Structure 1
């Protein structure tokens, strides 16, 4: 018997549920209680194992205080795609990062920055660090850290 893999869109929608729930500091149990299901069902929704019906998705959106469109878009202007995002092979990789501790922390901090020019500067800094990291992967960690420290002071 073959194992059926979750539909990528179901997995993405589930990961967005998880991301928003974690951003609010809400447990699976609390969300489950608020939408009238078990916490195991919430786990299945978040993994994309079980598809979320339209009415249930509307309820989840209301509990998480977001529009339903949040589950289907990266932002208000882009449909689901990973084109142009280096380092990610697909929506699953992106979703995994966004729901990781580091991804959530980075997103929370970034969203607190209201100045567009500061946001652009942060993006450029992170991109340059990523490029330096991949280009300098042969260097010992201590040497790379020292080089980055010198660069940040200049």
Structure 2
């Protein structure tokens, strides 16, 4: 049984998604708080899962953050939140952990500003090549056959 001071896992997950979306949009806790009619301390509590977000408040947050309320319950774009898989969500998932980091947010913001699809693909290929080289599986600058990708 959960104590009164222990945040609910779903509230924590939803709060982390609010934080991620807010930071991705470059919005401060104060600005979000002003736009949804609460204090910035209340936004902090929502983001930490300490206070549960009611349905109407979650809808308002979604409107301000230009997304749908369902976004806050998704582990990825296609997978809805399940309590069974929650233990391995943000804290145990290195991708989610990176996306919540300062570097991850900065990288994603910059990448989203690139509108050229081919350039985006080349950047992804470059980063994959660098990662493989660092892991000892390849050499940066190594030529690949047309259509070959690093996976």
Which structure has the highest helix share of the two?
Answer: 1
Unaligned runs of 5+ in 2: 83-87, 143-151
1:14/1:45 contact within 8 Å kept: yes
- How far off its partner does 1:15 sit? 1.9
Q: Which residue of 2 aligns with 1:43?
A: 44
Report the equivalent of 1:142: none
1:5 Cα offset (Å): 4.2
- The answer (yes or no) to whether the contact 1:12–1:95 under 8 Å persists in 2 is no
Q: CA deviation at 1:116?
A: 4.4
Asked if residue 91 in structure 1 is aligned to residue 90 in structure 2, the reply is yes
Change (3 A) 1:109 1:53: same
Which residues of 2 match residues 21-60 of structure 1 at below 5 A?
Answer: 21-60=22-61
- What do residues 64-96 of structure 1 show as CA deviations (whole Å, max 9, x unaligned)? 222212222322x34359xxxxxxx63234443
**Which residue is 1:100 aligned to?**
101
Aligned to 1:128: 129
Runs of 4+ in 1 over 6 A off after TM superposition: none
Contact residue 16 and residue 95 of structure 1 kept, 8 A: no
- Counterpart-to-counterpart distance in 2, 1:5 and 1:97: 25
Shift of the 58–3 alpha-carbon distance from structure 1 to 2, 3 Å rule, reads closer
**Counterparts of 2:122 and 2:115, CA distance in 1:** 12
Partner secondary structure for residue 55 of structure 1: helix
State the number of aligned residues: 134
Tell me how far 1:110 sits from its aligned partner.
2.4
- Deviation sequence 1:94-131 (CA, Å, 0-9, x none): 44321221111121122233454443433333233223
Gap regions ≥5 residues in structure 1: 82-88, 137-146
